[in-house]
Amino acid sequence: MYVQEGDLKYLSGFGSEFSSEDPRCPNSLPKGQNNPQKCPYNLYSEQLSGTAFTAPRESNRRSWLYRIRPSVLHVPFKPLTSVNSDKILANFATLPAEPNQMRWFPFEAPKPDDGLDFVSGLKTVCGAGDVITRNGVGIYVYGCNLSMENSAFYSADGDFLIVPELGTLKITTEFGKMVVSPGEICVIQQGMRFAVCVDGPTRGYALEVFGTHFVLPVLGPIGANGLANPRDFLHPTACYDDKVGEYKIVAKFQGKLFSAVQNHCPFDVVAWHGNYTPYKYNLTSFMTINTVSFDHCDPSIFTVLTAPSVKPGVAIADFVIFPPRWSVAEHTFRPPYYHRNCMSEFMGLIKGSYEAKEEGFRPGGATLHQIMTPHGPDAQCFEGASNANLSPVRVADGTMAFMFESSFNLAVLPWALETANRDLKYHECWAGLKSHFNEQEQ
């Protein structure tokens, strides 16, 4: 049985301590120490560390798992050859440069005969950096119609932020279970094993960050409240499975897939405590901040989660959403302004239609605007917004667009450049923009 919203616990703050016991085994958490000589119920203790042991206390992340068998109990890993092996990539330096604006019509959902689970349906669209030195990002799309039976997946390379667009994901993790539907997101952090079950065709997006973890953005002058509130993030509760039999563990390591076999279920954690957990978030809980006077604010006001770099104020990646909201700015061109940016912007659409591009940008599709590549509203949007009545108006009702924004210059994989659903006429959406210059007018 998969837990629903009420069965998850609030992740009341990033860095806070949490704990959970499967109710079938009360008092399974050791009292007073992490690693007793013998754990309750004769469990094994195992620490999962998400940061260096010596990281400062406020940023140190680790959890203790009390499990029936330790995760070390498997045969050696071997390279995994599957239908998407050539589409999972981390050596981005070898790819050709592509500075043009790019758009993709909806990526194809799997057909009944495809038989793809989450791992075999995962494909890298673009990325940058290096998984070996652990500094970079990978952006993926996934399409699957099979559940992961007797198998689990984990990434040794980084954290996965998963954004469903079509179909609900039933995710089992070592920490418990989560149901993640379109309009929600989840984060499975580095090293955490999980399996995805689905009911029919599913599709979505994923962002992986190497070498850091997602945190809530600093609010600064916004104050104590706003954007994504800590209390709205949920973590799973312990729910062990003691099945025995052959299970396949798939690892993403240095950008490549490997598999190993073990003779027991990997989700056999009876209890856990710590601050390094998977979690989910409902995007409708986001408290939007916006202008109530004039001008169009920078999209950073819509940041849900950020993965900071070592340079203050610069992110390896941000996860940004554009939710329904009121637009009330006076004397203002209200849609996004035309701009060139020192960040790369990959946008996806979960539902509805995006205000700056009503045509062509569809749920399940994407756009990519590289560093310093100009972009902005299409010609139709510009003409409409330039002459609109500026009464207060609702924006993006029935819509949820998002953006993976990165300070890295992203390289695009060959399959994504060559796929039939790439819109090679994307640039034409700006072709109708014409000069309105009149030197006599002030």
Which residues carry out catalysis? 296, 339, 345, 369, 375
- The conformational region for residue 191 under phi > 0 = left, psi -120 to 50 = alpha, else beta, is left
Q: Tokens for 181, please give them.
A: 């539907």
Q: Tokens 């013998």 belong to which residue?
A: 38
CA distances for 65 relative to 140, 151, 234, 272, 303, angstroms: 29, 20, 18, 5, 32
* Cα dihedral: 409, 120, 163, 90 (round 10): -20
Other C-beta atoms closer than 10 Å to the C-beta of 114 total 16
* Dihedral sign for Cα atoms in the order 162, 276, 29, 281: negative
Tell me which residue has tokens 């009876």: 270
Q: List strand residue ranges (DSSP E) for 266-302, in order.
A: 269-274, 279-282
CA distance 196 to 206: 14
* Long-range contacts of residues 359-364, Cβ cutoff 8 Å, at least 24 apart: 359/429, 360/103, 360/105, 360/423, 360/426, 360/429, 361/103, 362/105, 362/106, 363/106, 363/165, 363/166, 364/106, 364/107, 364/109, 364/165, 364/166, 364/203
- Please give the structure tokens belonging to residue 158: 């980084």
CB-based contacts of 213, cutoff 8 Å, min separation 6: 50, 51, 61, 159, 189, 190, 307
Strands (E), 2-150: 9-10, 18-21, 44-49, 62-67, 78-79, 102-104, 122-130, 135-144
- The β-bridge relationship of strands 244-253 and 151-155 is parallel
Q: Single out the residue of 284, 285, 281, 304 nearest to residue 8, CA to CA.
A: 281
The gap from C-alpha 233 to its chain's centroid, in whole angstroms, comes to: 14
Distance of alpha carbon 148 from the chain centroid: 20
Distance CA 337, CA 216 (A): 26
Cα separation, 37 vs 30, in Å, equals: 10
Q: How far is CA 380 from CA 79, 106, 357, in A?
A: 50, 22, 8
Distance CA 309, CA 383 (A): 39
